[in-house]
Amino acid sequence: MFDTSSRKEQRTAAQGGDTTGYNSTSTTATSTTSSSPIENNTQYRQTINRALDETKDNIRRSTDEARKEIPRYTQQLMNIMSKLFRQPGRWQITA
């Protein structure tokens, strides 16, 4: 039906590597030997795709962490608002 694997998993599987996402290094060593332009283009695309996948993973991780904090901040805001509303004498409307 639909392929739900990420480019990262597809690339890693094609290279015969680990598809769990736990790589020992995230940098790519480039060959010093002369290679064809097609090989260079492929390596360049792989490097770009790897960087984009890592960025996407970092953004997802950051948003997940922020999403976990929302209830705590909401509770703090509700506490502050309830304290303010319990003190009606302090509210003054000025024009």
Model confidence over 22-79: pLDDT tens digits? 444 444 455 555 678 888 899 999 999 999 999 999 999 999 999 999 999 999 999 9
Residue 2 has pLDDT above 50, yes or no: no
pLDDT, residue 90, reads 63
Residue range 13-30: mean pLDDT, rounded: 50
Q: What is the pTM of this model?
A: 0.46
pLDDT, residue 36, reads 85
The CA distances from residue 36 to 6, 43, 50, 94, in Å, are 27, 11, 21, 75
pLDDT, residue 48, reads 97
- Cα distance between the two ends of the chain: 64
Residue with tokens 């598809």: 19
